Amino acid sequence: MAYTVVIPARYGSTRLPGKPLLDILGKPMVQRVWEQAQLSAAARVVIATDDARIVEVARSFNAEVCLTKPEHPSGTDRLQQVAGELGLPDDHIVVNVQGDEPLIPPQVIDQVAANLGQHTQAGIATLCEEITTIAELTNPNAVKVVRDVNSMALYFSRAPVPYPRDAFMQDQGAMPATGHWYRHIGIYAYRTGFLHRFVTWEPALLEQLECLEQLRALYYGVGIHVAEACQRVPPGVDTQDDLAVVRDVLSRGG
């Protein structure tokens, strides 16, 4: 099954300006992400950016790069522009690998693409992993996902869902029994035809309240398949502390 990886890489970042170009042991972050994607089974890996500086750097390491409109409201809109410019057919699978995930395992990229190919009832495929600490369960930056018996998403939230009423009545500072809570991992597989439809839809109220773009798809009735990741996915880079962790991991050969 042939699929394409697109790596959205915006220059602007509130906490880390120029994030895709930040140095990680002699290479810019976006190159680290691109190299991980190149290790997957993707037929094509494309960097999508709104900034000429990133275009120049990407071309320096021979990456295919697409300069996209700066006003895109989301990474999905940026992907749709790339899919259109590449002329990808409606049934072609596109995997969105975030540009701040320099440690992403290539195996999970293959996994999410294969899952979408196997589940024709889904418009999107994504991944999750179990939450085992109370800190992560109650952290609004850790997005939770609830699934049905067929591993289709029921809801995504920044709140601890499902809410453990009885356990929290006894002690809100302790982790309830595990096996019920899952953190969403922000890697997505789409079909090109879905991307063309998505950008025509108005943002949903739920999406705006939670600041979670995937809720727009659920609101408009699109099924999202959510599997547990086949490998642990290290956190991405949002802060200087995150960047220091990544540098440390790679310096130790991780």
Given a contact cutoff of 8 angstroms between Cβ atoms, the answer to whether 172 and 163 are in contact is no
Q: pLDDT digits over 77-94, tens only?
A: 889 999 999 999 999 999
- Position 173 scores a pLDDT of 84
- Position 14 scores a pLDDT of 72
Give the whole-angstrom CA distance, residue 218 versus residue 221: 5
Whether the pLDDT of residue 16 is over 70: the answer is yes
Given a contact cutoff of 8 angstroms between Cβ atoms, the answer to whether 9 and 55 are in contact is no
- Position 174 scores a pLDDT of 83
Whether the pLDDT of residue 15 is over 80: the answer is no
- Position 170 scores a pLDDT of 86
State mean pLDDT over 113-133: 96
- Position 167 scores a pLDDT of 84
State mean pLDDT over 22-37: 96
Whether the pLDDT of residue 252 is over 80: the answer is yes
* DSSP character at residue 152: B
Q: CA separation (Å) from 156 to 7, 95, 142, 236?
A: 23, 20, 10, 19
- Position 235 scores a pLDDT of 83
Q: pLDDT digits over 184-231, tens only?
A: 999 999 999 999 999 999 999 999 999 999 999 999 999 999 999 999
Q: CA separation (Å) from 184 to 25, 51, 69?
A: 29, 29, 28
Q: pLDDT digits over 39-54, tens only?
A: 999 999 999 999 999 9
Bridge partners of residue 182, in order along the sequence = 130
Peptide bond before 162: cis, by omega within 30 degrees of 0?
yes
- Position 254 scores a pLDDT of 67
- Position 130 scores a pLDDT of 95
- From the centroid of its chain, how far is CA 63? 20
- Position 44 scores a pLDDT of 97
State mean pLDDT over 103-130: 97
pLDDT, averaged across the chain: 93
- Nearest 5°: the CA angle 102, 72, 241 is 30
Give the whole-angstrom CA distance, residue 41 versus residue 51: 28
- Position 28 scores a pLDDT of 96
